[in-house]
Chain A
Amino acid sequence: DTGVSQDPRHKITKRGQNVTFRCDPISEHNRLYWYRQTLGQGPEFLTYFQNEAQLEKSRLLSDRFSAERPKGSFSTLEIQRTEQGDSAMYLCASSLGTGEFQAQYFGPGTRLTVL
Chain B
Amino acid sequence: AQSVTQPDIHITVSEGASLELRCNYSYGATPYLFWYVQSPGQGLQLLLKYFSGDTLVQGIKGFEAEFKRSQSSFNLRKPSVHWSDAAEYFCAVGATGRRALTFGSGTRLQVQP
Interface residues of A (CB under 8 A from B): 4, 6, 31, 33, 35, 40-45, 48, 50, 55-56, 58, 91, 93, 100-101, 103-109, 111
Contact = CB atoms under 8 A, between A and B. Distances in A.
Given A55-B99, A56-B98, A42 B42 contact: no
A31 B96 CA distance: 16
Contacts of A108: 42-43
Contact of A104 (B41, B96, B101): B101
Given A42-B92, A42-B105, A103-B34, A48 B99 contact: yes
15 contacts: A33-B99, A40-B105, A41-B106, A42-B104, A43-B101, A44-B103, A55-B99, A91-B43, A91-B44, A100-B32, A100-B96, A103-B49, A104-B46, A104-B101, A111-B41
Contact of B51 (A41, A48, A91, A101): A101
B36 A106 contact: yes
Contacts of A58: 100
Interface in B79-113: 90, 92, 94, 96, 98-106
Given A41-B105, A103-B49, A109 B99 contact: no
Contact of B32 (A6, A101, A106): A101
B43 A48 contact: no
A108 B40 CA distance: 11
Considering the complex of A and B, which 3 residue pairs feature the smallest CB-CB distances, nearest first? A42-B103, A45-B100, A106-B43
B42 A109 contact: yes
Nearest to A31: B99
